[in-house]
Amino acid sequence: MANARVIGVRSVELGVRDLNQSATFYKDVWGLDEVAAEGNALYLRGTGRDHHLLALREQGKASLLTVDFAAADRETVDQLHAKTKGYGVTVFGDPAPRTATEGGGYGFKFHTPDGLPIRISCEIGEHQDTVIDRSRPTKISHVVLNSAKTDDQIRFFVDVLGFKLTDSTHLMEFLRCSSDHHSMAVFRNNGPSLNHIAYEVPDIDGLMRGSGRLKRSGFNVEWGIGRHGPGNNVFSYFIEPNGFVTEYTTEVEQIDDADHIYGDAKFWDRLPQKPDRWGMAGLPSNRMQLAMSGSLYQADVAPDNERCEDIIGRKLG
Ligand SMILES: [Fe+2]
């Protein structure tokens, strides 16, 4: 049981104000395809095998409803359920079968020590076909959460869910559960809230083409295009219609446990350009900083709303 751990991030479920508006963005602009719909919820897949990468649920308010992690099998799900319960966080019932609309499988839901919703599942259905289009997302790359109690979150993700700490900076802790440099990161910030969701695209050319599609649709690159320090990944960040931050990323560093050396904040301080190695992107705009802090979606303010500028004024200045 000590070795029970999650092995990847699979999908995210978001509460949205207007399902049609959000579906139009994620299908026509972001590049996902509808795979299932039920009631006020819509499930969208990427070009890879995962049943869905994103579930949208209309509920009148933007919110993070679940981050879905994968486990290898039912035995591991049961073991992680026992460990999570034993740790004392809020756990919602026993592991149970998931609906066909969700892709089936078996899992359970709980809250992080900060109170953010997570689900761990196994045996979720996979598509047999994949789509070849490098401008569209293949999978969820990583999810970043904001926390005012970072150390508590890291302890939980490492000790209970089996993540490994890959790198740390003064701002962020990067956690891996597969060969990807990070599937999860915790940002030292106000919290708890969602900082951003990153979707992997196959290569830099695809990232540029996808970013161009966003730009032509009226969504400017809010931070990027650049290459990060920790993770070495190329990034292009946008603010979607609910105020969530969404990222295309590619070339994420692959980690081999046998020879990886953890870099602490002091190590990364030696690389002054660490968030933006190419020096092209600069710092995130005020709008992007506000969105990454969770303030836009939590305030129910669409990014094109003039109230956005008001909030920026009050928060930053
Ligand atoms: Fe990211």
Q: Please provide residue 138's backbone torsions phi and psi, each rounded to the nearest 5 degrees.
A: -90, -40
**Rounded to whole angstroms, how far apart are CA atoms 305 and 290?**
14
> Residue 193's closest CA among 15, 40, 315, 9?
15
Residues 37-62: tens digit of each pLDDT: 999 999 999 999 999 999 999 998 99
DSSP assignment of 49-74, as one string? SBS-SEEEEE-SS-EEEEEEEE-SSH
Residues 124-161: tens digit of each pLDDT: 999 999 889 999 999 999 999 999 999 999 999 999 99
**Cα(39) to centroid(ligand 1), Å:** 31
Least confident of 81-95, 203-217, 254-268, 275-289: 275-289
The whole-number pLDDT of residue 301 equals 64
**Cα(144) to centroid(ligand 1), Å:** 7
Residues that place a CB less than 5 A from ion ligand 1: 198, 247
Tell me what the mean pLDDT of segment 182-194 comes to.
94
**Cα(231) to centroid(ligand 1), Å:** 9
- The proportion of the chain whose per-residue pLDDT surpasses 70, expressed as a percent, equals 94
Q: Taking all residues of the chain, what is their mean pLDDT, rounded to a whole number?
A: 93
**Cα(86) to centroid(ligand 1), Å:** 31
| Residue 272 reports pLDDT greater than 90 | no
- The proportion of the chain whose per-residue pLDDT surpasses 90, expressed as a percent, equals 85
**Cα(211) to centroid(ligand 1), Å:** 15
The whole-number pLDDT of residue 232 equals 94
**Cα(142) to centroid(ligand 1), Å:** 7
The whole-number pLDDT of residue 10 equals 97
For the chain, the C-alpha Rg in angstroms (whole number) is 18
Query: pTM of the prediction?
Result: 0.95
**Cα(143) to centroid(ligand 1), Å:** 7
Name residues whose C-beta falls within 8 Å of residue 313's C-beta, 6 or more positions apart in sequence.
none
Residues 80-129: tens digit of each pLDDT: 999 999 999 999 999 999 999 999 999 999 999 999 999 999 999 999 99
| Residue 317 reports pLDDT greater than 80 | no
Least confident of 28-32, 138-142, 297-301: 297-301
**Rounded to whole angstroms, how far apart are CA atoms 37 and 22?**
14
**Cα(97) to centroid(ligand 1), Å:** 31
**Cα(141) to centroid(ligand 1), Å:** 8
Instruction: Judge residue 18's burial from the number of C-beta atoms within 10 Å of its C-beta, 0-12 exposed, 13-18 middle, 19 or more buried.
Output: middle
**Cα(98) to centroid(ligand 1), Å:** 29
**Cα(296) to centroid(ligand 1), Å:** 18
> Residue 98's closest CA among 67, 119, 71, 126?
119
The whole-number pLDDT of residue 307 equals 54
Total count of residues recorded for the chain: 317
Structure tokens at 86: 């034993």
**Cα(100) to centroid(ligand 1), Å:** 30
**Cα(83) to centroid(ligand 1), Å:** 28
